[in-house]
Amino acid sequence: MKTIQFREAICEAMSEEMRRDESVYLMGEEVAEYNGAYKASKGMLDEFGPKRVIDTPIAELGFAGIAVGSTMTGNRPIVEYMTFNFSLVGIDQIINNAAKIRQMSGGQFKCPIVFRGPTASAGQLGATHSQAFENWFANTPGLKVVVPSNPYDAKGLLKAAIRDDDPVIFMESEQMYGDKGEVPEGEYVLPIGVAEIKRKGDDVTIVSFGKIIKEAYKAADELEKEGISCEIIDLRTVRPMDRKTIIESVKKTNRLVVLEEAWPFGSVATEITYSVQAEAFDYLDAPVVKLNTADTPAPYSPVLLKEWLPNSDDVIQAVKKVLYQ
């Protein structure tokens, strides 16, 4: 094993797949000459050249369309958005073309494409640069949505996403690119659609994904001091969702808290809550509690932003609520 940063895990995954398959290429704003806005493509222009690592204008709709069209001629593009907030400019290409080419062509065309970049908040970036759209994309048949929380998962899942014959939304975080973690020296690929139990426990199940899961780990450490054992599931893939792992855990712990950095209405947490009440209602000893951001645009003020985001104290309070403490 070796220890690398999250950004290095992303770079390694893309580079390894580009060496393996000449049809894979990377395009986006500042991915080439600048080595990526977050240095996630450092050195790739030097290795693969300007035909496979392509700097684009600030025109998300345009380069998303070029990439989608290129899949129909045998290419496997990786499209980097500087943030998924900017994907809204190109969302027509994602929802109406990438997600539907296979069905609307009667199976004549597949669309092997990865749209990747950071999601959710990253400090004081204001309301329009602090949004999480995992649930938007996950609502769309034809798209897969992956949200890793650490370098190991990021590398293994990105390699799987690049090899996938369907479009994959791969969501990262500006605040995770510097995170360090162990990854194998050799090649490995992780399956899309499989959650992982990151911490075993008996008293309550906590489900989360992406960078906000760190708050669950903090809460679990504090709760352990009080004799409360938390089982933490990292969803890793929002769609397809690994409902089985969640259900089996809830059947063991009989309680569920869902932690998600997104608005509460129609969220991923809402879908998980529905699934659990539908498939494990008789196992629940308390109502499910879901923790989301406040139901407002993200504030710029650091004081308000702290209140807007769910944190470890909120998780502790939620766990004690489902335990009736």
Looking at residue 158, its pLDDT comes to 98
**Are 237 and 157 a contacting pair, CB within 8 Å?**
yes
**Are 171 and 210 a contacting pair, CB within 8 Å?**
yes
- Residue 129 is a catalytic residue: yes
CA 173/CA 119 separation, integer angstroms: 5
CA 10/CA 24 separation, integer angstroms: 15
For each of the domains in the chain, give its residue range(s) and CATH number, in order of start: 2-183 (3.40.50.970), 196-323 (3.40.50.920)
pLDDT digits (tens, 9 = 90+) for 68-103: 999 999 999 999 999 999 999 999 999 999 999 999
Confidence band for 190, pLDDT divided at 50, 70 and 90: very high
pLDDT digits (tens, 9 = 90+) for 295-325: 999 999 999 999 999 999 999 999 999 999 9
CA dihedral 49, 18, 143, 208 (to 10 degrees): -110
Looking at residue 304, its pLDDT comes to 97
- As to burial, measured by CB atoms within 10 angstroms (0-12 exposed, 13-18 middle, 19+ buried), residue 270 is middle
Catalytic pick among 60, 80, 174, 260: 60
Confidence band for 222, pLDDT divided at 50, 70 and 90: very high
pTM: 0.97
Catalytic pick among 29, 129, 172, 260: 129
Q: How far is CA 243 from CA 27, 186, 295, 299, 307, in A?
A: 34, 30, 26, 33, 30
pLDDT digits (tens, 9 = 90+) for 26-39: 999 999 999 999 99
Confidence band for 175, pLDDT divided at 50, 70 and 90: very high
pLDDT digits (tens, 9 = 90+) for 49-59: 999 999 999 99
Phi and psi angles of residue 2, each rounded to the nearest 5 degrees, phi first: -135, 155
CA 187/CA 151 separation, integer angstroms: 14
Looking at residue 215, its pLDDT comes to 98
Looking at residue 213, its pLDDT comes to 98
- Residue 60 is a catalytic residue: yes
Looking at residue 313, its pLDDT comes to 98
